[in-house]
Amino acid sequence: MSKPFQLTSALENHSAGLVEYMPQDTAKKQTDAPWKEFLFTLRDAYQYREPLTYTVDGLFSNPSLNIVFSNPGMLKSFLLGDCAVHVAGGTDWLGRKVKQAPVMWIDLDNGKRRTHERFEAIGRKAQVFVEAPFYYMSMKPFNAGKEKDISELLSIMLALGIKSLFVDNLGLISPGIDLNSDGMIPLMQNLRRLAEATGAAIVLIHHQRKGTAKRAGETLLGHTGIEAAVDLCLLVERDRDSNFIKIKSTKSRDIDVEPFAAEFCFTHKEGTNDLYEAWFEALEFQDTSSDKAIEKVILDIVTETPLINQKNLLTSAKSVLQASKNRIRLVVSSLEQKNRLKVKEAAHNAKLYLIE
C-alpha cells in the first residue's frame, strides 16, 4: 500500500527548500488522470489561438455565459427573440454584425401559441427563410441543476451545431432551488460547462429585484453568484406605456458595452389582435451615466473653461450627467492619475484643472 500524501509535510519541505521541481512534461504525465486534462502551463498559454468571435458583434462571444434582466414588461424576451432570429438568418441586428449560426430558444414562460406567433412575426419582418437554422422548444420541462437534463441538452446542441442558446427564463430552469441561495452556483457552473462544451453563446433571460441599489448589477434577482458566473450582464429599461427601451451593461468580462437603445414596432394581422410583423429599430442613445460619459463631460468642461476649480467642475458636470458628485469626483481623480487632467494648486489648497 502506498504511503498517503501528507500536505503538511509537503509544505514544510517546500518551505525548507527541499523540493526539487521536475520538468513540466514529466509533471503532467504523472498527474492523476481526473486532473490531467485540466492542467496547463505557460506553454499552453503562449500557443496561438484564433481571435475571439462574437455571435452578435461586441455583445455575445463564443463561448460565453450571459444574462439579460429587467422588471416584467420591459420587452426583454421580445428583444432577444428578435436577436435570435437575426442570428439564425445572418442579418445585422440593431446595427451590429452577426455571425450566422444555428440557434436554439428554450421557452418556459410564454407558452406554445404565443411563442409561435412571436417568431412568425419576427421572422416575417426580418425576411428569414424557413430553412434558417432556428430551433425552439416550448414548455419542455428542463432543470439546469440536473446532470441528466444538461447531458440531454448537450447532445441536442452538438447534433444541431447550436452556437447560440437563449433561455426564457433562469428562474424556470432552476425548479426547487431558492434563487437567493448558493444552490444557484452549481447550476450556473453546469451552464458554463455547457457553453464550453458546445462553443455556444448562452443568453439567460432573468428578472430584476425590487428596490434600489448602489450599483445596477445588484438589482439582479437572486444570489450574487449568478452575476459572478456570467461574462456579460445587460439591464433592459423601459418607461411604462412606451415602446422605447434602453439597454446597458452592468458587467462585462471582455470589451466594454456602451449603452444602446431601440424602439419596438409591430403590426397586426388584418381584423385581429394577432401579430403580423414585429421588429426593433435602433435608436441613438445619449449616454449620461457611464464612466466614459462622465470622463467626456469632464474633459469637455475643462477644455472650454481652463483653470476651473473643483467645485465649479463638479457642479457643471452634475448638471448634464445622471451621476452623483461623489462618482464624478472619483472619475476626476482617475483622470488626474492618468495625467489626462493637469492640476494647478491655488490658494487655500484649491485645485484648478486644465488640459495641456
Are 328 and 181 contained in the same domain? no
Are 233 and 323 contained in the same domain? no
Are 152 and 186 contained in the same domain? yes
For the whole model, what pTM was predicted? 0.83
Q: Is the dihedral of CA 131, 134, 135, 136 positive or negative?
A: negative
State pLDDT tens for residues 256-268.
898 999 999 999 9
**Among the residues of the chain, which ranges form H helices?**
7-15, 24-30, 33-36, 42-45, 76-89, 112-126, 147-160, 184-198, 224-229, 291-304, 310-318, 325-337
For position 330, which CATH number holds?
A: 1.10.10.10
Q: Phi and psi of 5, rounded to 5°?
A: -70, 130
pLDDT of residue 223: 96
Are 86 and 204 contained in the same domain? yes
Residue 273 cell numbers, joined = 389582435
Are 103 and 211 contained in the same domain? yes
DSSP codes, 75-104 = SHHHHHHHHHHHHHHT--BTTB-B----EE
Are 143 and 263 contained in the same domain? yes
pLDDT of residue 13: 62
Number of domains in the chain: 3
**Domain-ending residue, one of 283, 310, 334:** 283
pLDDT of residue 2: 46
Are 105 and 122 contained in the same domain? yes
State pLDDT tens for residues 287-333.
888 888 899 999 999 999 999 999 999 999 999 998 899 999 999 99
Are 109 and 185 contained in the same domain? yes
Low-confidence ranges of the chain (pLDDT < 70): 1-19
**Domain-ending residue, one of 256, 283, 310:** 283
Residue 349 domain-assigned? yes
For position 74, which CATH number holds?
A: 3.40.50.300
Strand partners, 68: 205, 234
CB 223 within 8 A of CB 211: no
Residue 205 domain-assigned? yes
Residue 2 domain-assigned? no
Residue 278 cell numbers, joined = 414585429
Are 235 and 275 contained in the same domain? yes
Are 140 and 249 contained in the same domain? yes
3-class DSSP state of 2:
coil
User: Beta strands 60-62 and 275-283: pairing type?
Assistant: unpaired
pLDDT of residue 9: 59
Instruction: Provide the edge-to-edge strand list for the sheet that holds 308-309.
Output: 308-309, 351-354, 342-345
**Domain-ending residue, one of 283, 305, 330:** 283
User: Count of alpha carbons within 13 Å of 161, Cβ hemisphere only?
Assistant: 7
Are 120 and 153 contained in the same domain? yes
- The domain in which residue 84 lies consists of 54-283
**Integer Cα distance of 323 and 306 in angstroms:** 23
Are 93 and 172 contained in the same domain? yes
